[in-house]
Amino acid sequence: MSMFDLAFARQQGGRFILRIEDTDRARFQEDSEQQIYDTLSWLGLNWDEGPDKGGPCAPYRQSERLDTYRPYAERLLAEGHAYLCWCSGERLAQMREKQQKLKQPTGYDRLCHGKTREERAELPGFSETPVVRMFIPEDAPLVFTDLVRGEVSAPRPDDQVIVKADGFPTYHLAVVVDDHEMGITHVVRGEEWISSTPKHVLLYQWLGLPVPAFAHMPLLRDEKKAKISKRKSPWARLTWFKEQGYLPEALVNFLALLGYPPIIEEDGTEREVFTFEEFSAGFDWGKVNKVGPVFNLEKLNWLNGHYLRQLEPGEVATRLLPYLQTAGVLSDQPSLPELGRLKAVAELVQTRIVILTDAMPLIAPFYTPDAELPIADDARGQLKDDAGGVLDAALAALEPIDGAITDTLDVQPDWNHERIEQALRAALVEGLGIKPKFAFGPLRTAVSGQRISPPLFESMEILGKASTLARLTRLRDELVTAAG
């Protein structure tokens, strides 16, 4: 919703306001507001006004605007559009239960309407603290124009509570008042709010306020075409994507495609990869998908891989750094040589990963002490009987190469991947007559500890001669010991 809101606001030169709707105190969570700031900022969906930025419409938390709502509620009461209801929670529960048993429409039965407090107190199910309810007329407007769906019919609402017993307004009154006070022209929300729109239109009309345009977006569905549930789908949380290592620009592109068609080029071809700026520039409510799109993680993975491959290696390293720190591969204060090595390794793994966390097992060996490198069982299990001899031959071939780092920037050191590959192919493939797959398998296991790793010769170059020979020697010695 925020993304489509912002795309339209930017296209029209409007304002994108972040308002915290926290009037439901029973469901209030202390960290929710910060999570909204963090996830929207991570996605690059930046607001113009909000609780953290201020602005002409402050305050932006509904819980801090109670004095704003009170006069509107009092006016509705005075003009007969609303009334006080003293029914207790127990009485309302019994009423609903009876309606369901009799297969009647559920809704408030208006027991309190037209009664004074004293009159109502004489009847059962009385609560000392009243709520304020709307008095829905028989001719309530049930049809409205929607920017996405055209003419929409909604069911007749019941007498909705607009001010709760704790003095807080419900969503219905608060958004109508705030949208007017903050100059909101377009209300973009999920399709589950279609049934509430007649209540809001009535409130606008009763209060003599201009009715904004409504756009009800389709709800995302899971692979079984059911409404996405946070209990069943971990990716129903925006924070999950960040934790997994998706790029925000890929996720924004993906979310746009879920609710909007690809960009059509001048030659008629479709383009699925586009920036938020391109999405905003051509935005049209008439093109928004009316049917709830199915969340396709494979498409997101494809997009994320595409965006990853477009980044400069230095940028890939920057994006990888916090994940490596969280995983304990790098400290919170890595040294300059460690960061330099990361840039070199990032270039190796960039084309081999789909999400940033895929890189953790590929990068970890470059920061593990040689003697502590774990050898994975599947890597060790694929070693042939001649692995020890292959490692001996590799050590002999690599030993003559000078491992010193040159002082001159434009002079390539002897220990480079081309020289390493040349020496190893000559010794193992040509010298021992072993196919490359089997010749380099033991070396890959020794250097990375894994069956699948970044390119072998480039890895040896980054590790340096001392580490490479130490790892080859260690595995060779282990194999000799095991054989003995």
Catalytic annotation, pick one of 53, 227, 230, 435: 230
Asked if 140 contacts 157 with a C-beta cutoff of 8 angstroms, the reply is yes
Provide the sign of the torsion angle of the four alpha carbons 59, 61, 64, 69, taken in this order: positive
Q: Strands 82-87, 126-134: parallel, antiparallel or unpaired by DSSP?
A: antiparallel
Phi, psi of 481 (to 5 degrees): -60, -45
**For residues 227 and 219, is the Cβ–Cβ distance under 8 A?**
yes
Nearest to 73 by CA among 156, 181, 183, 174: 174
Q: Has 230 been annotated as catalytic?
A: yes
What does the DSSP 8-state code read for residue 294?
A: B
Integer Cα distance of 49 and 273 in angstroms: 30
386 SS3 class = coil
DSSP state of 58: -
- Cα–Cα distance measured from residue 248 to residue 285, given in angstroms and rounded to the nearest whole number: 24
- The pairs formed by 311-315 with CB atoms below 8 angstroms and a separation of 24 or more are 311/350, 313/343, 313/344, 313/346, 313/347, 313/350, 314/343, 314/346
Residue type, 324: L
To which residue do tokens 């980054």 refer? Answer: 462
Three-state SS letters, 163-209: ECCCCCECHHHHHHHHHHHCCCCEEEEEHHHHHHHHHHHHHHHHCCC
User: Residue 227 gets which letter from DSSP?
Assistant: B
Instruction: Confirm if 282 and 262 have CB atoms less than 8 A apart.
Output: no
Residues whose CB falls within 8 Å of the CB of residue 454, separated by 6 or more in sequence, listed in order: 345, 348, 349, 352, 362, 448
Contact between 229 and 222 under an 8 Å Cβ cutoff? The reply is: yes
Q: In what order do the strands lie in the sheet with 161-163?
A: 82-87, 126-134, 161-163
Distances from the Cα of 431 to the Cα of 169, 424, 434, 447, angstroms: 83, 9, 8, 21
CA distance 461 to 415: 6
Helix (H, G, I), strand (E, B) or coil at 134: strand
Consult the annotation and say whether 230 binds a ligand.
yes
Active site residues: 230
Binding residues for ATP: 230
